[in-house]
Structure 1
């Protein structure tokens, strides 16, 4: 077995893989070469599943320093191929969210940034639990291909400026391996491992700037603002150590974002924003403009966040973001006919492509008052359990399942007034017998006026 010389407590020792595990188990700091040795061992056969499980548990219990996290992130990043954009230095950006209900921000954001002449190689993910995945949503567009070769990614970014695609087998294989073992060893909820997983994927993209959206609340991975602040602080520190200019947003995720929850229905809402249709979701618009505007500031394309927000908003008003979206989806396999129909004013054509389930259930308010909150956990669970998400990795998603909200937090509502529509199929009650109870009790009403929802809790820049 491969060994290397290192020092523990001042003495030189030849450390095998079990020695490295014992060093971390006993609370010592691993140096960069030791971490590189362990990650390299995933591919050369030195490291077995039992070693990975033991090391992950040692990290979970003992934690890691910021230097260790940075070294782990770089070793994972370097475990496969990397994207390189030397000709676009100063213009390559991306955004990552820890996941939320109705979180469709990436879908209009990437084209808007490309319309501002930035390059956006957005490596996105699939749904996790009740949280919808950007790739699953985009795959509700017939023909959309999420798996691109490195050559196709380069072509997409060079000619169009943005692409939203999955992580290829050649990119960061260490992260896929480690995450699979984390999932079965109860070591997923660990900040060091979360940070290294997120940032190893983002650093593969060769970014100049990154915005991170760390969510907290009942339907988020981090349940409290305090937990989210700790994770955001680590993400910010390590991103800066990796040379990526970064800003972390800590945002509320007790209530759904926008008016829609699901796959095809969230694509519809994203297109409505890019068309800047009357009645589009204002909270979605605000978050997209805020995060996009921040990226423009980070790469010196805007002098102030206010100017950056307006630059993003203008791409929706003048149609340039919609045109980039049209070009992006054609570049990723969608036919020119379907792409043209999606961005047209023919709503019947749009609905014929992004089909919603044919059975509608209306949620009715049980009292008069003001909407205090909308339980995103319950609504996300309904969509997932009815087939709009996965209960296990092999499940096939029904893109037609979704919920359309008719009201937002702060709105006034009367008894028996509908506040949401659930689009489902005939076998709904068999899949999830309590779906109607959850739907009807997801709305919380106050007898006194409620102010508008404040999404952004804190910003680290």
Structure 2
């Protein structure tokens, strides 16, 4: 069938066959279908949507557009997690070594920051020598010997997604649930996973600000991934404030180290990380209940096994062997540190989390243009959780900046992001629901 016929049928709301979708994906991957035709197809999907079987077919076709990794020689359950992105969301840095220390193999393909959200790869690039794009031999060696490896998407994994995403990015079709689903899952399925746990964020710092939208995306991801043969579940988690008590690349790496040393107990990041760890262990049939999984994850932290695994992953992928003991010897540190004081007494009642992420970008910690260099040293630490009572003059955060001017700008932006009043509210629920 001609590509324009596939576009016409989808434009008219017809259901495409798996074979038809596979031919279209094969055509645009090979360059036989023009960018204009791919853009028209994406727009037709944006308007008309896709049935579950269509989205499964699109996901599998994009997965099969390049290499599909085979981990049958590993002998451990092959598992992963994916987050839809947020502010202060460094969960992958803690989660992968926790579950790897408990017997899972985690070949984690991660991404860079997108919009106001931080990227796992940007955080890891804070570490001197860390290789986010190893060859397949080193990737496999690290997973086999360490249990986990967090790297970037190679050109051989789901190349169809790279081409389609670039076109979606400039044609206002990024926020299509079927296209988001196929984009996320094609890369994860190409990594050869057996189980997958999804962290779908909802709130002011998430791409999905509405709970029903988050549920729709979570259901699509879970149904399509299970339909493609990967055992999958999702947690919807709150992103109405930064997840960690910091935001910024090197600063979030330090947070991860502190977390793995047992210094972040009782935090929102602990609640989300342990819930995801329990779900990963449960999906892989390593534990019988989520409660048992959480207990094992807590034990992996308390014993130091998870921290040791993190350190071995860093050194295996080119980072310093002594990184866990001397992190600041191997990461950039901001030249200026400024405290942010509460302008009045009251309770921190709300946060525009997206604006906190944008303030990090303003400091230089993210990209405005794809070609921009990232300043890994900048960001915020000591962010107080919502529900905290403060007095006028109390320190509610610290700014790490390259100069006084950018620090002053970030201070104004951060204060504008938080509401302090006498009304008060309790802490928000971190885990909204499971799908």
Confirm or deny: 8 A CA contact 1:90 1:299 kept in the other structure: no
Structure 2 vs 1, CA of residues 413 and 427 (structure 1 numbering), >3 Å: closer, same or farther?
A: closer
**Equivalent of 2:250 in 253, 261, 264:** 264
Q: Which residue of 2 aligns with 1:419?
A: 396
CA distance in 2, matches of 1:433, 1:260: 18
Deviation at 1:426, TM superposition (A): 1.7
**Equivalent of 1:323 in 296, 308, 315:** 308
Q: Which residue of 2 aligns with 1:4?
A: none
CA distance in 1, matches of 2:408, 2:163: 36
Deviation at 1:427, TM superposition (A): 6.5
Confirm or deny: 8 A CA contact 2:246 2:383 kept in the other structure: no
Deviation at 1:444, TM superposition (A): 1.7
Deviation at 1:217, TM superposition (A): 1.4
Q: Which residue of 2 aligns with 1:123?
A: 109
Q: Is the aligned partner of 1:248 residue 2:223?
A: no
Confirm or deny: 8 A CA contact 2:121 2:151 kept in the other structure: yes
Once the two structures are superposed, the pairs formed by residues 8-407 of structure 1 within 5 Å of their partners are 15-88=1-74, 91-277=77-263, 282-336=267-321, 340=322, 342-344=323-325, 349-407=326-384
Q: 5+ residue gaps in structure 2?
A: none
Q: Which deviates further from its counterpart, 435-444 or 111-120? A: 435-444
Deviation at 1:259, TM superposition (A): 1.0
Q: Return the TM-score normalized by structure 2.
A: 0.96
Structure 2 vs 1, CA of residues 406 and 193 (structure 1 numbering), >3 Å: closer, same or farther?
A: closer
CA distance in 1, matches of 2:371, 2:239: 27
Deviation at 1:350, TM superposition (A): 2.9
Confirm or deny: 8 A CA contact 1:379 1:438 kept in the other structure: yes
CA distance in 1, matches of 2:303, 2:421: 40
- Can you list the C-alpha shifts for 1:378-414, whole angstroms capped at 9, x where unaligned? 2111110110000011000000101012522222210
Deviation at 1:87, TM superposition (A): 3.5
CA distance in 2, matches of 1:311, 1:215: 25
Confirm or deny: 8 A CA contact 1:388 1:399 kept in the other structure: yes
- Can you list the C-alpha shifts for 1:277-320, whole angstroms capped at 9, x where unaligned? 3x566221221111011111111111110110111111111010
- Can you list the C-alpha shifts for 1:220-268, whole angstroms capped at 9, x where unaligned? 1111111101111111110110111111111111100121100000000
CA distance in 1, matches of 2:256, 2:394: 26
CA distance in 1, matches of 2:78, 2:208: 29
Greater Rg over alpha carbons, structure: 1
Q: Which residue of 1 aligns with 2:433?
A: 458
CA distance in 1, matches of 2:234, 2:49: 22
The residue matched to 1:273 in structure 2 has which SS? helix
CA distance in 1, matches of 2:230, 2:310: 26
- Can you list the C-alpha shifts for 1:170-221, whole angstroms capped at 9, x where unaligned? 1110000000000111110100100000011111122121110111112211
CA distance in 2, matches of 1:115, 1:228: 31
The residue matched to 1:168 in structure 2 has which SS? coil
Deviation at 1:353, TM superposition (A): 2.8
Confirm or deny: 8 A CA contact 1:258 1:281 kept in the other structure: no
Q: Which residue of 2 aligns with 1:439?
A: 414
Q: Which deviates further from its counterpart, 357-366 or 90-99? A: 357-366
CA distance in 2, matches of 1:452, 1:46: 54
Confirm or deny: 8 A CA contact 1:218 1:376 kept in the other structure: yes
The residue matched to 1:95 in structure 2 has which SS? strand
Aligned-residue RMSD, C-alpha: 1.6
The residue matched to 1:260 in structure 2 has which SS? coil
CA distance in 2, matches of 1:400, 1:21: 46
CA distance in 2, matches of 1:92, 1:322: 20
Confirm or deny: 8 A CA contact 1:89 1:208 kept in the other structure: no
Confirm or deny: 8 A CA contact 1:365 1:443 kept in the other structure: no
Structure 2 vs 1, CA of residues 415 and 427 (structure 1 numbering), >3 Å: closer, same or farther?
A: closer
Confirm or deny: 8 A CA contact 1:268 1:354 kept in the other structure: no
- Can you list the C-alpha shifts for 1:315-339, whole angstroms capped at 9, x where unaligned? 1110101111111011111132xxx
